[in-house]
């Protein structure tokens, strides 16, 4: 079979292809970053970061560029592919990311942090930075993590249950305003019909998931796989007997957790304890 010819010679990696297209469209029109900013109404530094791959930008700015360049949907499509590309995650997460995007329902338990799907930008940045990620990689990982929130948007969003240990709500961000935003975000998300949020109080004492973050993914083919993670290791579990054992443990934790209504009240009480003034 003859080798397939490269039609455009441009990158097949979604993030790189997006930045290439941004630079090409601008340079073909002989525009500087400053001139583009004047024409479109956004900051020149934002376009510079997008063209260098340091950030993907927001959907609003990408839509504005599509409109300006007369490329309806092109840049938005490339942006969506770049945001959703599992290659931007660490190798061990890639298969999980693909399965997560295909799941029809998800069940989660969190030991010390809310799941990435429920994290604000500020929380995701703080959590990733605490793991030693810096600079451009940090910004890329923040975008990759928060971009996953689109999974919970729209009428076809999968059902999602998250059980949070009380420790999650007792471990605030350094910035009080950002912590309030995270708590308010949890409350807002819990109001969605497809999302069930529960709190497991300290009074439950020891249980089978005391040191393990866990996510179950029910797939279109009716299979259920699990992803278990602790501070040093993450494992994708597909063997039915192991998944079933984890499910029994999860069911016991769910039965011990506060009801969704009581969980909302709990988060509201936590929110009332956070001062409204700026952090010192």
pLDDT in tens, 69-97: 999 889 999 988 887 776 665 655 677 88
Q: Please tell me the pTM assigned to this model.
A: 0.70
Res. 40: pLDDT tops 80: yes
For range 11-25, the mean pLDDT: 86
Res. 248: pLDDT tops 80: yes
Does residue 57 surpass a pLDDT of 90? no
With H, G, I as helix, E, B as strand and everything else as coil, classify residue 49: helix
pLDDT at 278 over 80: no
- Per the structure block, which two tokens stand in for 24? 């090409």
| Order of strands across the sheet that contains 195-200 | 195-200, 159-165, 105-110, 213-218, 224-229, 234-237
Residue 175, token pair as written in the block = 């910035």
Does the pLDDT value for residue 192 go beyond 50? yes
Decide if pLDDT at 184 tops 70: yes
pLDDT category, 156, cuts 50, 70, 90?
Answer: confident
Cβ(50)–Cβ(57) below 8 Å:
yes
- Provide the token pair at 274: 């956070």
Dihedral over Cα of 39, 45, 46, 51: its sign: positive
Would you tell me the crossing angle of helices 44-52 and 14-28 to the nearest 10 degrees? 130
């Amino acid at each position: 079979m003859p080798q397939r010819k490269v039609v455009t010679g441009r990158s097949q990696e979604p993030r790189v292809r997006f930045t290439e297209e941004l630079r090409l469209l601008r340079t073909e029109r002989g525009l500087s970053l400053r001139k583009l900013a004047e024409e479109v109404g956004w900051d020149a530094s934002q376009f510079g970061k997008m063209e260098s791959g340091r950030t993907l930008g927001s959907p609003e700015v990408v839509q504005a560029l599509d409109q300006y360049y007369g490329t309806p949907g092109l840049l938005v499509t490339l942006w969506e592919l770049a945001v959703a590309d599992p290659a931007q995650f660490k190798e061990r997460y890639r298969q999980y990311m693909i399965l997560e995007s295909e799941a029809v329902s998800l069940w989660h338990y969190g030991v010390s942090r809310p799941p990435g799907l429920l994290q604000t930008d500020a929380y995701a940045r703080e959590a990733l930075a605490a793991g030693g990620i810096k600079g451009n990689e940090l910004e890329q990982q923040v975008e990759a993590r928060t971009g996953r929130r689109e999974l919970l948007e729209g009428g076809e969003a999968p059902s999602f249950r998250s059980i949070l240990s009380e420790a999650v709500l007792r471990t605030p961000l350094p910035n009080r305003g950002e912590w309030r935003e995270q708590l308010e975000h949890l409350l807002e998300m819990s109001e969605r019909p497809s999302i069930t949020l529960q709190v497991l109080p300290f009074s439950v004492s020891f249980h089978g998931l005391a040191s393990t973050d866990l996510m179950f993914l029910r797939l279109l083919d009716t299979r259920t796989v699990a992803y278990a993670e602790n501070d040093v290791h993450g494992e994708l579990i597909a063997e039915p007997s192991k998944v079933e054992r984890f499910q029994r443990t999860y069911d016991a934790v769910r039965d011990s957790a506060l009801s969704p209504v009581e969980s909302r009240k709990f988060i509201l009480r936590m929110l009332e304890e956070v001062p409204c003034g700026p952090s010192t």
